Each structure stands twice: as structure tokens, then as C-alpha cells.
Structure 1
Amino acid sequence: MKRAKTPTIVDIAAEAGVSTSAVSRALLGQGDVSQEKRKRIEDAANRLGYVANAMARGLVSSRTKTLGVVLRDVRKPYYAFLQAGMQSQAERRDYRIVATTNAGELEVADALREIRNLISLQVDGLVIAPARLPSAEFASFLERVPIVVSGRRESIRGISSVACDDTDGGHALAQHLLQLGHRRIAVVLVDESYSVRYSSRGLAMIDQIRTGGGTPIVWKVPTDHDAAEVATARLGDADVSAIMCPTDPSAMDVLEVLRQRGQSALADYSVTGYDGYGPLAAPYLG
């Protein structure tokens, strides 16, 4: 089927009986167009199915009101919550979000490709959340677009960052278990090469357990996805009363292992996660 001609401001001007400059000012929201004329222009644009070319508008104004977002792993609820929060704040400021992610770990080469693709769309700024992407790999793009890294602290000048204090969080979570009376506590410790944040949480948990007079039983894993496997292998011979996981999805995996063993949280073990996925764990409790 032949594609219909894309309407332009010339078509809108003819339809509304006004000048092209009036159409341009009205569609840009500039104030020197009467309400009556603005309504005629908007009605004509709607009838014709006109959609503004954001790229062309950006070339004129040097801004596209668009932010690019690179997310690490769409399977992790944390990144869905992160995107939802950014989307909400962007809309309040009349910006739109163009996001790219992956159904799994986003490797360095893939992340860099997506960054280049977003910059080619003339985005006004970038938020980068793949934790495994070294800052040095994308620092050269700072000359073209402002960049904010989410999830870790940055030392490279010019790169802003937003991050939680995972050490403090790990300490607080372990202290809570100690206050509940737990003394032998399993800690699922993720390899630092996979995630500095997850590793930092685990190390902080281990440190606080020792400081508080407990005994940490360290279960080392390559990634947080391996929590179920290590729990299956170690629970039988581990005299522990609590299991600390680096993320909420890994805690869910451990809860499923307990369910398969005829056990549960609260009744048999205390299980902790991290990041805010808690409500979905309700069917596994008690």
C-alpha cells in the first residue's frame, strides 16, 4: 500500500488559512498567536494527522527535550523501578525518555553501541546504568552530551553520578539480623568482577556480623543468579539460621529453594534481599 504524504506546516497553514510562521509559532507554544488562531491551527494539525519532527525541531532549537537511558538488565526489577522513576520525573518537566536495555547482561561493546545510537538521536542528556561498563569507555562522549551514571560513584571529572551507600545498607541489614538473635548467618557474596555494588553489600554484611559477635558463613558465587544453586548445595550441611542475599531476585530464588525443601522464611530461616522487591515475596512467607 502506498504510504500517504506526510503533512507539513505548509499543509496546516493552507488548511487553517494562516501563514506558515503563525503555524510554527503556535506549534512551538509561543505566545504571540491569538487563541482563536491557535485553535484553528491545532484543529487543522489534528485533522491532517500532523506529527512534529523532533529531530528537525532540535536542529533549530539545539534541544530535543529527549533523554537517553541505557539500562543493564530488563529482567531485574530494580531497573524497571529506576526507569519508571526517571519517566515520571521527565514527564513533569516536559521531557521524553528513549531507553535501551537488554534481556540479560549488557556487555561493554553492546552498551557502547547503544550509547552511540542514542547520541545520534540528538538526546539532550544520557543516563547510563550498566554497572559493568567502565567510565573510561564513554568519557569521550562528554564533549557531546551531559552524562549521569546511576548505581555507582564516579571519579572522572565531568561525569555526575547517583548511588546508594551499599556499605551502610549492608551494615544495617546485618545488624538487624543480629538484633533478632541470629548468630550464624549465611552471606551470598557476589564476585566483584560481576558487580562492585553487590560485592560491597556482601562484604559489609560479613564485616558487621563479625563486629557484632556473629559468625558469617560465606557462600561465594559468580553472580546473583547463582544464589539458588549455592543454597541448594550448602543448606543441607550449613548450620545457619539466616541467609543474606545481594538482591531481591536472588532472595526470591532462595525462597523457592526453601519451598522445594518443604521449608519457608520465618518458620525455618530469616532471608534478606536488597533493592525493594519485597511485596512479591509474600506467597513465600510463613
Structure 2
Amino acid sequence: MQTPRSAARAAKLPNPDDSTPSPDRTGSAMSALSVTMAAVAAAAGVSRATVSRVFHGTTPVAQSTRDAVYAAAEKLGYVPNVMARVLAARSSDILGLLLRGPTNPAYGLLFGELQENVSRLGMQMVAVAPSRAEGANFERQALNRLLGLRVGGMFVATGVIHAEMLEPFLDKVPVVIIGRPESHPRIYSVSYDEDSNATQLADAVAAHGHQGVAVVTSSGGNSATEHRRAITMAARLRAHGVRAHPVAAPTFGLIDEGAQEIIALHRAGHITAAMFPSDLRALAFMPYLRAASLRTPEDLSLTGCDGILPGIDLIGFATVRIPVEQAAQRAAEVMKTLLDGQTEIKHELLPGTFLPGRTLGPAPR
């Protein structure tokens, strides 16, 4: 039996399939947001349940019927009331994505590939992404915003939100971390094998005879991925007997940090190569190289990491190409199985491919 309080609470919940259009503030018959499924169904000559299936993807619908529904929706300006549906159901089949800086080509490609794979598997996704200058506080707020939308599952593709920040939510929604290495026993991850990527780069630099190398080292709090790459590169260089000179880059969003220190190390005769934890950082260093009248690789060899930067083949960076497409496909597949009840947690590692560009050459004699 429904109590007065529960009845009142239920009455306040929006009904996504309400067949009565509401007037907009100007008093017109219906605004874009008040057009209902019933109106679309009447215009398309189908049932309201069919309209729901078309927009929510619950069961297959004939293409001719889908076309009729979409045409009616476009004519009427229908917008599916996703939040009303979530509130009414107390849950959601929409996935959330917390994405680090989509202006970074690697994250931009990941977003596109993940969206394609999520759609292919019959799921939906909403993304929140900070600007390159926004740090951990913004990402925590974005995380809370996604959870406030009652997402049914969450992808985390950022090195700023650590596993400990996700622990309070693991009993509520399945989480898949994409891109960065992760070892938390309750979080599934599909990650680039950054130890392998960094090792490939360091081995190539050492093989070219460099004995002094600058390694740009980002803060772990700003980017777990870049920090992991830098630490591994430095350790591998030292294993080859090469002097690694860490160049600190602690400021969030400042991708040319450490450039002047690299130039100074070269002028002092300490280094013949510089290794950057991302192609964007290597690219940001190029104007400093030019301003110092230095050439690459004749005077100073350079390496990056990611291999996604548009025109990377024209620039000719020596880098590692991370398998973004494979990571996106696996992450979507994993989320699908988690939503279906699979509980086994794994940490998949996907190694990249070394690209021997023209910015890496033999150490000058």
C-alpha cells in the first residue's frame, strides 16, 4: 500500500512518457522540451512503446519504423527527457566518461573511439572533460556531477583522479579505468603498458650512444601516466649506464616547463638528448630549440610518447604509438560484461609500438 508521503514523492517524479504536452513559458502549445513521446508516436503512426524502443535502444526496431520516428521527432523538435527517465527508474543505462583534456590528441581520439564502441554495443554515454588548465579539484567536481546523474557505469580516463578517490563509489557503479596503469584490486583497468613504452624509448636512446640525457618528469599528482613514463625512462637509462638528468615539470597544464633547463644542460655539455613524457611536450620544446640555434638530432636528439599528434609523420618525432583504438574497444567490451554481472577484476596492459623518427640520431662526438 502506498503511503501519502511515498505517493506525493512519486507524483513529483517526472514521467518521461507523459502524453500531455506542457505549454512553454510563452504560452505556446508545446516547446521543444515539452514535446512528448505520445506526440511523436501519433505523428509517426506507431505506438508510444515503439518510440521508446527507438530512442532508448531496448529492443531492435525495423529501419523503416526508425526512419518514421526520427522524421516525426525532427519535425516536432522532440528531445528525449533522459533525466526524467533516470529519476523514474531510480537507475540509468547511460554510462559516464571522465576525460582528461580532450584538446590532447590522445584523449580526443580515445573519446571518439570509445563513443563509437559504446554505441556499437547498444549503450549510451555522457562525457565530462576539464580544460587543460583545470586540475584535480575540477575533476573531483566532475566526478560528483556524473554520479549525480545516476550513471549506470563510469569510465575514468585521467591521471588526476586516483583509485582512492573512486573507492566510495565502487559498490554503486562499475568503474573501468582507461589508459593509465592501475593495480587497485576492485577496479578493472585497460591501460597502456607505460613501462614497456618508456623502456622502448630509453633503449633506443641508449642504442644511439647518448651518455647524458634530460628526462622531463611531470608530477605524479598532475599526471600519473607522464610521471610513470619519466621514472621508467630514467631508470632504464641508468641500467644502460647512461646519466639521466631529471628535469622537473611540477606545474599543472604548463607543457613547456623545463625547456630552459634543458637548453642550459646542453650548453653545459651534460646532455645530447632530451626525453619528453608526451609528444605535446616535445612539440612545445621546439621553439626553444630554434631560439637557441640548435638542430635536432644533429645537436640534440628528442623523443616523445603517444604517437597520436596530427602530422607526427611530417614532424618526424621518435616516439611510441599507444594503442588507443584497442584500449577503447576493450574498455567498452569490459563495461558491457561488468553491467551483465561479471565480477572478475583484471588489469590489462596494452604495449605501444616504437616509431623511429628523425629527431633521434647518434650522439654528437
The question of a shared fold, defined as TM-score above 0.5 by the shorter chain, is answered with: yes
Which structure has more RCO (C-alpha within 8 Å, separation ≥ 6)? 2
Deviations 1:18-39 (A, max 9, x none): 6545655666667799998777
Contact 1:150 1:163 in 2 (8 A): yes
Q: What do the CA deviations read for 1:56-111 (whole angstroms, capped 9, x no partner)?
A: 44567777543211123344333222212212212322333322122235433322
Q: What is the aligned-residue RMSD (CA, Å)?
A: 3.4
Does 1:79 pair with 2:110?
no
Match of 2:166 among 132, 138, 149: 138
TM score, norm. by length of structure 2: 0.66
| Alpha-carbon contact 1:206-1:216 (below 8 Å) kept | yes
- Do the aligned residues in 2 keep the contact of 1:90 with 1:97 (CA within 8 Å)? yes
Rounded Cα–Cα distance in structure 1 between residues aligned with 2:50 and 2:310: 53
Aligned-residue sequence identity (percent) comes to 29
Partner residue of 1:95? 123
Distance in 2, matches of 1:171 and 1:30, equals 46
Q: Could you tell me how far apart the structure 2 residues matched to 1:49 and 1:12 are?
A: 9
CA distance in structure 1 between the partners assigned to 2:148 and 2:46 by the alignment: 35
Does 1:216 pair with 2:247?
no
> Secondary structure of 1:163's match?
strand
Note the C-alpha offset of 1:117: 1.4
Count, aligned residues: 286
What residue ranges of structure 2 are gaps of 5+ in the alignment? Answer: 1-24, 317-357, 360-365
Q: Structure 1 residue 126 and structure 2 residue 154: aligned?
A: yes
Give yes or no for contact 1:107–1:133 (8 Å, CA) kept in 2. no
State the alpha-carbon separation in 2 of the partners of residues 42 and 58 from structure 1. Answer: 22
Measure, in 2, the Cα distance between the counterparts of 1:32 and 1:108: 41
Task: Spell out the pairing of 1:188-207 with structure 2 (5 A cutoff).
Answer: 188-207=216-235
1:237 aligns with 2:265: no
Q: Deviations over 1:193-235 (max 9, x none)?
A: 4433323322222222222233323333325731323224433
Aligned residue number for residue 39 of structure 2? 11
Distance 1:33 1:252 in 2: 49
* Kept in 2: contact 1:106–1:130 (CA 8 A): no
Where do 5+ consecutive residues of structure 1 fail to align? none
What's the secondary structure of 1:143's corresponding residue? coil
| Whole-angstrom CA distance in 1 between matches of 2:117 and 2:48 | 34
In the other structure, the counterpart of 1:55 is 83
Deviates more, 1:73-82 or 1:51-60: 51-60
Aligned equivalent of 1:273: 304
**Higher helix content, 1 or 2:** 1
With over 3 angstroms needed to count, the CA separation of the structure-2 counterparts of 1:149 and 1:22, relative to structure 1, is: closer
Distance 1:10 1:33 in 2: 17
Match of 2:294 in 1: 263
Match of 2:279 in 1: 248
Matched with 2:208 is: 180
**Amino acid of the residue matched to residue 230 of structure 1?**
E
C-alpha change, 1:66 and 1:22, in structure 2 (3 Å) is closer
Shift of the 80–185 alpha-carbon distance from structure 1 to 2, 3 Å rule, reads same
Whether contact under 8 Å (1:55, 1:121) holds in the other structure is yes
Between the aligned partners of 2:126 and 2:217, the Cα distance in structure 1 is 34
For the 8 Å contact 1:248–1:275, the answer to whether it is kept is yes
Q: Once structures 1 and 2 are overlaid, which stretch shifts more, 264-273 or 105-114?
A: 105-114
Cα distance change of structure 1 residues 55 and 210 upon mapping to structure 2, 3 Å threshold: same
